[in-house]
Amino acid sequence: MKLLVPVKRVVDYNVKVRVKSDGSGMDLAGVKMSMNPFDEIAVEEAVRLKEKGVATEIIAVSCGVAQCQETLRTALAIGADRAILVETDAELQPLAVAKLLKALVDREQPGLVILGKQAIDDDCNQVGQMLAALTDMPQATFASKVEVADGKAQVTREVDGGLETISVALPAVVTTDLRLNEPRYVTLPNIMKAKKKPLENVKPADLGVDVAPRIKTLNVSEPPKRGAGVKVPDVATLVDKLKNEAKVI
Ligand code: AMP
């Protein structure tokens, strides 16, 4: 069984991003970029499924600028077998990414697509669900445990009130939550090996997909600055402030 693992190049989670002065978006000049953390978890899970003998091949896919190759090389170093870069300089919104992935699903026929539940840059949480709709595959989102056997995936999902375990027939779409696994460290020998693994380059037009944006960003702004805290002398003052200033009790 083939596994398709989409990986997005995003601003590194340690970077404190700044909003551009004209409010048109984030200032990404010179900012460190990395693989979306949920996608690292997805690659790790795919590698574990291969190590268990459930999967035979792992294909990592990234859609975006030429530098996404670095993200794909990281996926190859974690353990993916080959990679596909869908290269474009266009701004890619979740529907466009889902359409590109659908074209690759049609071509590669994977038994399972494992994606991150959300990209930490746009926080959309849409691509997995849209891909499931476009391909008519069942979906199991926010996975904290995945077991594959007998043409089915049993997926434990993190829901508000606790955990829900569902069974979906393969091929299916699974999106990863934080507690699914802890991705392994990428070792130097594996980074070297990854350089020799195949990386195919295609364009959205080769896949017959129009990636034109459907959503226009009107404005991006920083959250309001938090005011400084105050020390209160005793519980009575605290209760008084909560009642009369914050008006929360
Ligand atoms: P989102 O719906 O944008 O929050 O993204 C959810 C997941 O879709 C991510 O964790 C990735 O696995 C995948 N994804 C989103 N954008 C891309 C992209 N440009 N290239 C590859 N995978 C992507």
Residue 96 domain flag: yes
Token reading at 56? 């035979």
The predicted pLDDT at position 116 comes to 98
Distance 70 CA to ligand 1 centre (A): 16
Instruction: Verify whether ligand 1 is closer than 6 Å to residue 110 (CB atom).
Output: no
Question: Which range marks the domain in which residue 75 is found?
Answer: 2-244
Residue 177 domain flag: yes
Nearest atom, ligand 1, residue 126 CA: 2
Token reading at 201? 């380059």
Residue 249 domain flag: no
Token reading at 170? 């393969």
The predicted pLDDT at position 69 comes to 98
Residue 226 domain flag: yes
- The reported pTM is 0.91
Residue 46 domain flag: yes
Residue 163 domain flag: yes
The predicted pLDDT at position 77 comes to 98
Q: Using CA atoms of 188, 200, 8, 133 in order, give the dihedral in degrees to the nearest 10.
A: -140
Distance 175 CA to ligand 1 centre (A): 10
The predicted pLDDT at position 115 comes to 98
The predicted pLDDT at position 86 comes to 98
Instruction: Verify whether ligand 1 is closer than 6 Å to residue 38 (CB atom).
Output: yes
How many Å apart are CA 41 and CA 115, to the nearest integer? 9
CB 35 within 8 A of CB 7: yes
For the domain that residue 124 is a member of, what is the CATH number?
Answer: 3.40.50.620
How many Å apart are CA 197 and CA 51, to the nearest integer? 18
Q: Distances in Å between the alpha carbon of 240 and those of 94, 203, 234, 247? A: 48, 63, 10, 9
Instruction: Verify whether ligand 1 is closer than 6 Å to residue 121 (CB atom).
Output: no
- How many domains are contained in the chain? 1
Contacts of 153 (CB under 8 A, 6+ apart): 112, 140, 146, 147, 167, 168, 170, 172, 174
Tens of pLDDT along the chain (249 residues) come to 999 999 999 999 999 989 999 998 889 889 999 999 999 999 999 999 999 999 999 999 999 999 999 999 999 999 999 999 999 999 999 999 999 999 999 999 999 999 999 999 999 999 999 999 999 999 999 999 999 999 999 999 989 889 999 999 999 999 999 999 999 999 999 999 999 999 999 999 999 999 999 999 999 998 888 888 889 999 999 999 999 998 998
The predicted pLDDT at position 137 comes to 98
Instruction: Verify whether ligand 1 is closer than 6 Å to residue 94 (CB atom).
Output: yes
The predicted pLDDT at position 224 comes to 86
Residue 86 domain flag: yes
Question: What pLDDT, in 10s, does the model give residues 199-225?
Answer: 999 999 999 999 999 999 999 998 888
Residue 14 domain flag: yes
How many Å apart are CA 77 and CA 44, to the nearest integer? 11
